[in-house]
Amino acid sequence: MRKFISVLIALILCISSSVMVFGQNSLDDYSIISPYTSDEGVAYGDNLLISVKVDAGTALSFTVLSYPNYTSADSLSMVPAISFTVEEPVGISENYEKRDRIGFYTRQLNDIEPGLYALRVDSLDGNGNITDTYSKYFIVKPNASKTTTTIYESQPSNKVLFFQSVFKSLFGSTAEE
Amino acid sequence: MNRSVYKERFKTFLIVVLFLLTVLLSYFYWQGSSISGIKESVNGHFSSTLFTGEDHIDAAYFVTPQKVDVNFGNGIYTSCQELAPQLWSDFIDSYIAFTEMENLMIEELSEAQWLETMDMKSIQFVFEYDMPVEFFESLGGSNFGQSDYFNHVSAMALSEASTTSLFIRDDTLGKYYRIISDSDFYPLEEKVLEISSTVSDQYYPIYLFLGTDNYEMAPFSTGILLPELSVNKLSSESILSSEKDLAKTFFGENLDFVRRIVDDSNTITYMYGYGEKMLTIYRNGIFEYKETPSSDVNSAGFNSVFDTAVSFISSHGGWSSFGTDNISAQLRSVSSTSVPKVDTYNFVFCAGSKNRTLYGNSASQIAIEITGDQITYYKGCIPAFDNSSFIEIYPENTSNALITDILARDHQYIAQTLLEHDIITPEAQDMDLFDLVVSNISSISTEYYSQYFEAQVRFVPAWTIDFSGFKVFYDLYTGEFLGYLKETEQ
Amino acid sequence: MEWSKIKNILIVALILTDILLVSLLIFSDHGKNDTDSSVSVEDALVVLSKNDITVSSKIPDVDPEMPVLTLTYDSDNGSFFYTSSEAGITLTENTALDLAESFISGLALPEAEKNTLEAVNVYPSEDDSGRYVVSYGSYYEDYKLENSYILCYVSSEGVTEMLKNHAVAEISGNSKQKIMPAASALLKYMNQLKSADPDSAKEITDVSLVYMVDSPYDGNITSDTAFPTWKITASDNSITYISAYN
């Protein structure tokens, strides 16, 4: 029986933590719009935009955390789901006080090094106690430089000449304005 | 013997002078003039600097992009408003050099190609109007020639995707083009670096910070400090003291034989003939001039029409109606209608500061309609402000209101307003109101909104949320609702 | 060949030429001021009579140049109705006129130099009220201001109704412009008449120069500009106005 219960608990923990890692939204009281991540949980760029749409009557606290041990992670699936040993806050935690209408929590973080991060959202009750918490994990990677792909060949295969050029080549003189 | 040399030289000089005088007098005589006629033509060009104002202003001076969209190439975007005129004038030399190159080719692009091109390091000059291509042809060097591909330029861009190409977007056709040359012609890297070192706001696609499906690029916050502008109004008496000077620019130095009517609201009307030419001056200084279209008007190309319009404004009260060095005129709309035989063009100029438009201020809007070489309608304003009272007021608290907060707070009111003005249809109401409003945003920028008081006008820096021409204004710093304007009212 | 002598001759020749040109220009300036005497009144009358138009009135002599006038309308123009306590006066043209005159002098209308107000006509009212209408015209010097008038409706109790559209005139500006002489105006009248109806015949009973504004304007006018105009009245009571400025 005990064994069964501990396996059950472990299973539940696994499932809920994977939900924590892979879920886009958690609770109904707010939705995280940014950081906007790809399917592998990657956000590109060195400026990070955080934008969370919050329902009426909801009080929250936001903390951004970085995980220095995982600077070379390529996608979230490569990161073990549980027990991060070192986590450091990026900046301070900010509170969002409840309002009688919807609102936004927006924050821009500049000069973010590539690596593993999390946005931790704590739901608060009337006295400021944490009633629930959710962490969205994401990996920051620098923007892929696009210079390697060339959209245009140096000489287009279908040349379409300006009328003026044709005119010029026919008559060898500058066209009238 | 020096004296006789001087004497001979003097005689030669005298002969030349007398000869020229003879030529001049013969010219007048053959012209059928008289002494009084000569006097009239010398004095006839009215000399008041208030209304004939400045030396000839090149029409091209008013054509500047409304904004310059910049992609820094690493996923960071911005849009420059204040810098736009400067960036454009810096670009013109490169543009001229480009158009003078040999072997220019043109290639039509797909929308996907255009978007990919702008997704790389790029600078895009975006105009508020679709400027006919003839304008750009005359701006450029002589080799540019006639283009049969696009007839308007809505935006012109440079991109890392091809540094030997000039990219062009024509919104009237919904098409994209690039003109390709043999060599680089614009210091793109350098310019982008320069721009990145100035204060500018990061722009994001709207879905990234508001969560609604809308791919327009917009800022949600601004680091740019815009001052409030304040200027004192002149009294009606003061404004109207120069009404005769204005009338003279239209009807000639002698107003004695022009019919002048004053009505009970103190509106003054000058009428020539049976209304072939009519000038109406209202007591707030706004005036309207109308001419009955003549049947034998000469057709003219766009550039000639544009020049004629600008010259006409310059010599008939024009640019001085904006009243101060800190407020300048911007071309805000260009439209044309094809009437049989000759095209009619409409130009609207608005007052602006730091390349932001002063909205809600009809006294600072100049509208002109021209058919061929004849001006048929012209609306302007006698200077209504006291220049010397102009001040800029910077806010004490420099933190600005966030777009996210404004929309969260006001989206229901905005939705209601958009419904009332038929910007959105009632069926659309089934959508979540917030998403409904945000999905209809066509752009967000910072502009000025006019507020009138007893003795002064204030131009308040404002977040301007544009819904395809219907603009809603919020105080940039307090987030307070300021007002809204339909497209036709601006 | 003496250059010096040649130069002297050239200088003298050029000076003479310039003097000639200047005097020619001055002469043509005077020329512009002469009255256009191309058609005399007698000739015009002959042409008119050949076209079934007779003139039984005097043709006035007028100044060759005339100014425009600025009209300033009273601020209280409009229609007015009165009840009067005057009881039962026998109503005749003369008594109606007397009543109107005393009424008008009681109005204290704005006065201006060279402006006069005169009773022009007294006639029975067209409605069946049995009233008389006394119509007043305004004059600047000897010229009638066609747009300024007052109509008084007089019943046996006195003035019961007044329609006032009164203005005073003054010369605006300093300039005068040449006007078309009477003869030319008559010929123009004839042309207008004949092009509308080639068979018409008229007897002109009055030719006079007045001041008027004839093109319409929407709005309540407080000030306007009146131009010299020829007023030609015929025996059938038709009135034709012809602008006197060319």
A160 close contact with B: CB closer than 8 A: yes
Residues B319 and B384 in one domain: yes
pLDDT tens per residue, range B326-381: 788 889 899 888 766 778 999 999 888 889 999 988 777 899 999 988 999 999 98
Same domain, C104 and C131: yes
In this structure, are C55 and C86 located in the same domain? no
Per-residue confidence band for C239, with pLDDT thresholds at 50, 70 and 90: very high
Does C119 fall in a domain? yes
Question: Do residues B346 and B411 share a domain?
Answer: no
Last-in-domain residue among C142, C169, C196 = C169
pLDDT per residue over C72-92, tens digit each? Answer: 999 889 999 988 766 677 888
Residue C68 sits at the chain B interface (C-beta within 8 Å): yes
Looking at domain A2-144, which CATH architecture does it have? Sandwich (2.60)
B22 vs C: CB within 8 A: yes
A&B contacts, CB < 8 Å = 112
Of A101, A156, A167, the CB nearest to B180: A156
**What local confidence, expressed as pLDDT, does residue A2 receive?**
80
B145: containing domain: 65-200
SS3 content of chain C, % helix, strand, coil (to 5): 30, 40, 35
How far away is chain B from the Cα of A79, in angstroms, using its nearest Cα? Answer: 25
Asked whether the beta carbons of residue B255 and residue C173 sit closer than 8 angstroms, the reply is yes
CA distances from B458 to B280, B282, B389, C44, C67 (A): 27, 22, 12, 68, 47
Residues B376 and B398 in one domain: no
Q: Is B35 left (phi over 0), alpha (psi -120 to 50) or beta?
A: alpha
pLDDT number for residue C196: 87
- Predicted confidence (pLDDT) at residue A163 exceeds the cutoff of 50: no
The DSSP 8-state label assigned to residue C182 in this structure reads: H
Query: How many CB atoms lie under 10 A from the CB of residue B316?
Result: 21
Residues of C in contact with B25 (CB under 8 A): 18, 21-22, 25
pLDDT for C218: 79
Rounded to whole angstroms, the Cα distance separating B283 from B302 reads 34
Q: Is the CB of residue A95 less than 8 Å away from at least one CB of chain B?
A: no
Q: How far is C68 from chain B (nearest CA, A)?
A: 7
What's the pLDDT tens digit per position in B31-68?
655 554 455 444 433 333 445 555 577 888 889 999 99
Determine contact: B162 vs chain A, CB below 8 A.
yes
| Domain annotation covers residue B347 | yes
Based on the structure, what is the number of domains in chain B?
3
Q: What is the pLDDT of residues C107-137, one digit of tens each?
A: 888 888 999 999 999 999 888 788 899 999 9
Residues C157 and C214 in one domain: no
The whole-angstrom distance between A83's CA and the closest CA on chain B is 30
Q: A24 to chain B, minimum CA–CA distance in Å? A: 13
Instruction: Specify the CATH number for the domain of residue C185.
Output: 2.40.128
**Domain edges within chain A:** 2-144
Put simply, the answer to whether C222 touches B275 (Cβ < 8 Å) is no
Both C214 and C150 in a single domain? no
Structure tokens at B8: 């001979």
What pLDDT shows up at residue B54? 53
Same domain, B144 and B236: no
**C118 and C139, same domain (yes or no):** yes
Both C76 and C56 in a single domain? no
How many domains is chain C partitioned into structurally? 2
The model's confidence at residue C7, banded by pLDDT at 50, 70 and 90, is confident
| Domain presence at residue B142 | yes
Q: Report yes or no: B5 at the C interface, CB cutoff 8 Å.
A: no
| B321 and B280 assigned to the same domain | yes
| CATH number of B387's domain | 3.30.310.160
Query: C26 in a domain, yes or no?
Result: no
Tell me what ipTM this predicted complex has: 0.79
Same domain, C95 and C109: yes
**Minimum distance, in Å, between the CA of residue C97 and any CA atom of chain B:** 33
Same domain, B417 and B351: no
- Residue B277 falls inside a structural domain: yes
> Are residues B248 and B325 both part of a single domain?
yes
| Chain-chain contact of B107 with A158 (C-beta, under 8 angstroms) | yes
Winning range, highest mean pLDDT, from B149-153, B163-167, C124-128, C172-176: B163-167
C114/C188 same-domain check: no
| β-sheet bridge partners, residue A161 | B105
Helix axes B188-196, B84-99, angle to 10 degrees: 180
User: How far is the C-alpha of B336 from the C-alpha of B300, rounded, in Å?
Assistant: 13
Task: Please report the pLDDT score of residue A83 as a whole number.
Answer: 55
- Domain shared by C136 and C219, yes or no: no
**Is residue C149 located within the same domain as residue C110?**
yes
In chain B, the residue whose alpha carbon lies closest to the alpha carbon of C72 is: B262
Pair (C80, C148) in one structural domain: yes
- Mean pLDDT across chain C: 86
- Residue B248: count of CB within 10 angstroms of its CB: 21
Q: How far is the alpha carbon of C34 from chain B, nearest alpha carbon, in Å?
A: 14
Distance from CA of B160 to the nearest CA of A (A): 8
On chain C, the residues whose CB falls within 8 A of the CB of B255 are 173
Q: Is residue C106 part of a domain?
A: yes
Residue A154 is predicted with a pLDDT of: 61
Q: Are strands B286-291 and B277-281 parallel, antiparallel or unpaired?
A: antiparallel
Whether A contacts C, i.e. 3 or more CB pairs less than 8 A apart, is no
Range scoring the smallest mean pLDDT among A29-38, A160-169, B199-208, B344-353: A160-169
Same domain, C163 and C101: yes
In a domain, B48, yes or no: no
Angle, helix B35-44 to helix C3-33, in steps of 10 degrees: 90
* Structure-block tokens of residue A39: 């399917």
Per the domain annotation, does B87 fall within a domain? yes
Checking if the pLDDT of B102 tops 50, the result is yes
Q: Hey, are the CB atoms on A49 and B210 less than 8 Å from each other?
A: no
Residue B5 neighbours by CB under 8 Å, 6+ apart: none
pTM, entire model:
0.79
C-beta of residue B173 within 8 angstroms of C-beta of residue B51: no
Residues B377 and B238 reside in one and the same domain: yes
DSSP H/E element including B408:
helix B403-420
Q: Is residue C191 part of a domain?
A: yes
Residue C27, domain member (yes or no): no
**Between residues 71 and 100 of chain B, which touch chain A (CB distance below 8 Å)?**
73-76
Do the chains contact at C28 and B269, CB–CB below 8 Å?
no
Tell whether B222 is within 8 A of chain A (Cβ). no
The last residue of a domain, from among C127, C150, C169? C169
Q: Which amino acid is at C123?
A: Y
Residues of B in contact with A151 (CB under 8 A): 113, 116-117, 120, 161-162
Q: How many helices (H) and strands (E) does chain C have?
A: 4, 13
**CA pair distance C25, C19, nearest whole angstrom:** 10
What are A119-133's pLDDT values in tens digits? 999 999 888 888 999
User: What type of residue is B467?
Assistant: F
| Residue span of the structural domain in which C114 resides | 71-169
Interface contact B267, partner C, CB < 8 A: yes
* Sign of torsion over alpha carbons C32, C38, C39, C41: positive
- Measured between CA atoms, the residue of chain A closest to residue B136 is A177
Give yes or no for B115 touching A (CB within 8 A): no
Boundary (domain end) residue, out of C110, C145, C169: C169
pLDDT reported for residue B142: 54
**Residues of chain C contacting residue B274, judged by C-beta atoms under 8 Å apart:** 215
Single out the residue of B7, B483, B453 nearest to residue B231, CA to CA: B453
Does residue B448 lie in a domain region?
Answer: yes
Residue C19 in any domain: the answer is no
The rounded mean pLDDT for chain B is 86
